[in-house]
Amino acid sequence: MKSIPLVVFICALVVGCKPPEQFDAAAVKAKIDAACTAQEQAIVKGDVTAAASNYEENAVILPSNMPMVKGRASIEKTMTGWMQSGMKMKEFTSTTISVEGAGEFAIQVGRYFQTFEMSGKVVADTGKFVTVWRKQGDGSWKMAYDMWTTDIPAPAMPPEPVVKKKK
């Protein structure tokens, strides 16, 4: 009689456990690259709602030279602010260098190139990014964390003032 509960437990464990889903990096990369292309097109068109829809509801972005932004609504608001600041995106492309992951998470490492116009001046920028993607219930992938940094050097810091000590 003591072995029946053990047998039931083992059967439940075997039936309830399924092997982990194999991570197909090439297939995931194709989906991520397609999502990136759609986002790039939305950004160039100035469609911040479409661009922000690539992020999960609770996503976090970590842009260069500013604080982190949490949540899709805040990300969309931030993007809107960029567009309303007079910045007009002329070109935006990204290139995936690698995609690795397991289960419902994928990590994308890549480079970007963009040109934008601001105050009548066209600026070209290159940089790099790391994005953590999460597989959604419908099989699509959305960004959970997105961090990018420019390759443009920061302006030189002014020299520290010399402070004379009182004698």
Reported as a pLDDT band with limits 50, 70 and 90, residue 163 is confident
Sign of CA dihedral 38, 57, 59, 24: negative
- The answer as to whether 39 is a domain residue is yes
- The answer as to whether 155 is a domain residue is no
Average pLDDT over residues 134-156: 93
CB atoms near residue 129 (< 10 Å): 20
Q: What is the pLDDT of residue 160?
A: 77
CA dist list (Å): 23 to 55, 69, 103, 129, 132: 21, 29, 6, 22, 15
Q: 146 lies in which domain range?
A: 21-150
- The answer as to whether 11 is a domain residue is no
Structural domains of the chain, count: 1
- The answer as to whether 101 is a domain residue is yes
How high does pLDDT run on average in the chain?
Answer: 88
Q: What is the CATH number of the domain that holds 30?
A: 3.10.450.50
- 3: amino acid identity, one letter: S
Where is pLDDT greater, at 22 or 124?
124
pLDDT, one tens digit per residue, over 34-73 is 999 999 999 999 999 999 999 999 999 999 889 999 999 9
Name the token pair of 61. Answer: 């972005």
Q: What percent of the chain has pLDDT over 70?
A: 86
- The answer as to whether 47 is a domain residue is yes
Q: How far is CA 107 from the centre of its chain?
A: 9
- Cα dihedral: 44, 50, 53, 55 (round 10): 0
- The answer as to whether 8 is a domain residue is no
Least confident of 6-20, 81-95, 98-112, 116-130: 6-20
Name the token pair of 51. Answer: 């661009």
Reported as a pLDDT band with limits 50, 70 and 90, residue 17 is low
